[in-house]
Amino acid sequence: MKKNLVIVESPTKANTIGRFLPKEFLVRSSFGHIRDLPEKSFGVDIKNNFKPKFIILPKSRKVVSFLKKEAKKAENIILATDEDREGEAIAYHLKEVLGLKDYQRIVFHEITKNAIEEALKNPRKIDKNLVYSQFGRRVLDRIVGYMLSPFLWRKVARGLSAGRVQSVAVRLIVEREKEIKRFVPQEYWTIQALLCKAQSAKRKAQNYNSKVKANFFALLIKKDGKTIPKLGIRSKEEAEKIVNELKGAEFIVKNIERKEAKKNPPPPFITSTLQQEAWQRFRFSAKKTMILAQNLYEKGFITYHRTDSLNLSKLALSSARKFIEANLGKEYWKFRTFKTKSKVAQEAHEAIRPTYVQNTPEDLEKKLEKDQLRLYDLIWRRFLATQMKEAVFDSTIVEIEAKPRWKSQESNAKNQKRAKNQEPKYTFLASGQTLKFDGFLKIWPMKFEEKTLPELEREEQLKLEKLLPKQHFTQPPPRYTEATLIKTLEKYGIGRPSTYAPIISTIQERNYVEKDEQKRFRPTEIGIVVNDLLVKHFPEIVDIQFTAKMEEELDEIAKGKKQWTEVVREFYEPFEENLKKKEE
């Protein structure tokens, strides 16, 4: 009996899908990409409208031979590779290599029984625009890498290479390093007052026991009603002058503002924010995070992990509500949807979430490895938090006026009054907050400080215990971490969900950047030399806006709004002309 052949990219994905399909379905893996541009030659026919010369990868020859045999025996062939640009390209190459005329293409956001059955009911053909977008990216990257590298060999050293998007990432790191080296620290001072309620001084002497601290700190923020800027007090002498003026001053409560402050939960994860959070919490590299997420997706525990959409399905939202109300209480649930900021995000896709919210991290302890479980726990908690009430704090802000007592030696009353009016008036600010309702913080812990102020009243006089002047110096901008570099690339529109991790891996593998003791990026000497050369001779290659525009054009190809060959031509012609000039 002939079977239905389903082809996916990985053996793990094949095993998971196989569990959901009846016996008449056979699931096989292509083990990733089966075709690509040749490694040892250019592989792009410039004169023939940039036609790429794809070859079967040496590692894939046995797999291709096996899949051809399986395809001949099958009644129907279903291509079930991932739903993004790379997945669509793999499906296209399978169709071409296996010579498929009659086939079905199915896509899904998660590997669950329902999702697979729904996808089989709604097959489609390969999305040529998505494939052409991948062609465009691959050909552009090959042009830059293949044509620019010999220029670097002549100018610097053999074996060097340049990348279209990677070079921008290196530039960001090099420029940050130069900024740090140019930075000149500036001295500034802050002044805090340690205050307490006047009547509590006696109670303290009597060992008065209270949960609320009688003393508290307040920060100097204004002089004569004008805000003191960050660098407003520039030296020890200036700070000491203020401290001397405040000796013996009266500290009076002038204003008390009590209000409820609410903190909303963060949005669900997309690729970039998952990579950032995994770095901040566990110090996972972007590459490691993507390997772990890939594994969780292929095992059917989370939705597709390469996404820039904040969308959540109705079924997922309903499941979250049921779980929260049953396990945490009805008072914790709140329906929320999130708007995707990215102009190019595909709203049909979903954010990264657990496929079944009922699968708690505790339930999966024996099914997942340690780091897989840590990442799953992060995704599970973040998703549930998005459907929970905000945390509520009781917030108190107190303005305290400090007026130095008049010490003038003037003799007559008129002069005394004038001197008193010229005395400076200082304003201090004290703030406190206490958690009233934990809301989403019950499941998504975040750092916050609870600070309780004593009960105060307007016009109440306070006792000054001590003044604390403190010296500070402005700090240079920090080096990039993996998290902050991804955030910056995303902010400028450089790279896409599938490319952040490869960008970061590539610039390290090429020895253009390295990590310091704090795991922050610093450029190597060769990285600085290569970057400076590219900035001087090929500024558009390392230009942030230019690279972001190219990314947008690749997205336009995916939507069918631009021809991939035209986008490549518009880049190639001025690039080749500039390269010729440099070689003359």
Across-strand partners of 219?
Answer: 192, 429
Q: Match 């922050």 to its residue by tokens.
A: 520
Helix (H, G, I), strand (E, B) or coil at 294: helix
Quote the radius of gyration of the chain (alpha carbons, Å): 32
Report the first-to-last Cα separation within the chain, whole angstroms. 67
Cα distance between residue 86 and residue 33, in whole Å = 9
Angle at 267 (CA atoms; ends 263, 272), nearest 5 degrees: 130
Q: If you ran DSSP here, which 8-state letter would residue 7 be given?
A: E
492 belongs to the catalytic site: no
Among candidate residues 87, 90, 103, 95, the one with its CA nearest the CA of residue 349: 87
Among candidates 458, 463, 464, 462, which has minimal Cα distance to 255?
458
Q: How far is Cα 44 from Cα 338, in angstroms, rounded to an integer?
A: 42
The C-alpha atoms of residue 356 and residue 440 are separated, in whole angstroms, by 19
3-state secondary structure 122-176: CCECCCHHHHHHHHHHHHHHHHHHHHHHHHHHHHCCCCCCCCCCHHHHHHHHHHH
- How far is it, in rounded angstroms, from Cα 308 to Cα 481? 21
DSSP state of 208: -
- Could you say which of 297, 304, 426, 572 is catalytic? 304
Mapping DSSP to helix (H, G, I), strand (E, B) and coil, where does residue 476 land?
A: coil
What backbone torsions phi and psi does residue 189 show, to the nearest 5 degrees? -125, 150
- How far CA 240 is from CA of 149, 188, 234, 246, 467, in Å, comes to 60, 13, 11, 10, 10
DSSP state letter for 494:
-
Amino acid at 136: G
- The CA distances from residue 453 to 193, 211, 393, 434, 456, in Å, are 14, 11, 14, 10, 8
Catalytic residues: 304
